[in-house]
Structure 1
């Protein structure tokens, strides 16, 4: 029982991805323009979701991102997002983002009064299954010593 508790605690603490240094790179304008607009995260899925709690973007439980609203403005790589789910801490932030030539989505949450170019840390996720009405962002994190994909399913909002 003690061993199971210890493994569970280690997995919980290992299930958070910290921000990584984000370097400027060339942008995939076609992918980026396709993401322009208002979106909602329909689901957040990952293997072991019934056993492990994931803190997404060092902000909140991953399930709190379901129903969150995102606005992406492609001509200046800016936008905003808000966590809106009941029973979760509310959070809203301006963001800077872009899709690089490697199909990676680079995201920075902007603190009040801080310019994006001053922030050296951000999150890098992979873009997948992009259509006019939906796309996925996939993060790869370590859960209990095993690399696991967390899939954020975005659907276009009206």
Structure 2
């Protein structure tokens, strides 16, 4: 009887001490699909109206549409380049990102990967294929109870 109790206690201790499994980032398949250059083809709103939205706390929809993006999944970094009119503050920007299931997190950084403002942005990963990437961001509308979904569509 003592041997049975000892074996059961040992087994329960081994099970209790087992390390938990976590996913540390995108699956290898998602990394392969995401890797490389993308063009932000369009940005759309869930409501049929014009909104004065500053995206990523930086620029307007008009400035971001047509911007070039590069994702480097092996170190979760990337960059994008805005080339719009004079109001767009053109140039190259850097970011770090994480893809965890349907969550897509993006945080602007400097060229060395250091956060500029310690502010990140949460998106929902709607779909991803070899030629298309769609992410969506839900934001509150100032002075309204409703929220607005901003959909970003990338293509290769």
- Do Structure 1 and Structure 2 share a fold, with TM-score over 0.5? yes
Query: What is the match of residue 122 of structure 2?
Result: 124
Note if contact 2:37-2:69 (Cα within 8 Å) is conserved in structure 1.
yes
Q: Which has the higher contact order (CA 8 A, sep 6+)?
A: 1
Note if contact 1:45-1:152 (Cα within 8 Å) is conserved in structure 2.
yes
Q: Which runs of 4+ in 1 moved over 6 A?
A: none
Note if contact 2:47-2:148 (Cα within 8 Å) is conserved in structure 1.
no
CA distance in 2, matches of 1:100, 1:147: 24
Structure 1 residues 6-61: Cα deviation after superposition (integer angstroms, max 9, x where no partner): xxxxxxxxxxxxxxxxxxx7212232331111001000000346332111110011
Note if contact 1:32-1:98 (Cα within 8 Å) is conserved in structure 2.
no
Whose radius of gyration is greater, 1 or 2?
A: 2
Structure 1 residues 53-110: Cα deviation after superposition (integer angstroms, max 9, x where no partner): 1111100112211001100011111111111123542142111112013x11111111
User: Could you list the runs of 5+ residues in structure 2 that have no partner in the other structure?
Assistant: 1-22
TM-score, with length taken from structure 1: 0.72
| Matched positions, count | 130
Note if contact 1:40-1:155 (Cα within 8 Å) is conserved in structure 2.
yes
Question: What is the root-mean-square deviation in Å for CA atoms of aligned residues?
Answer: 2.2
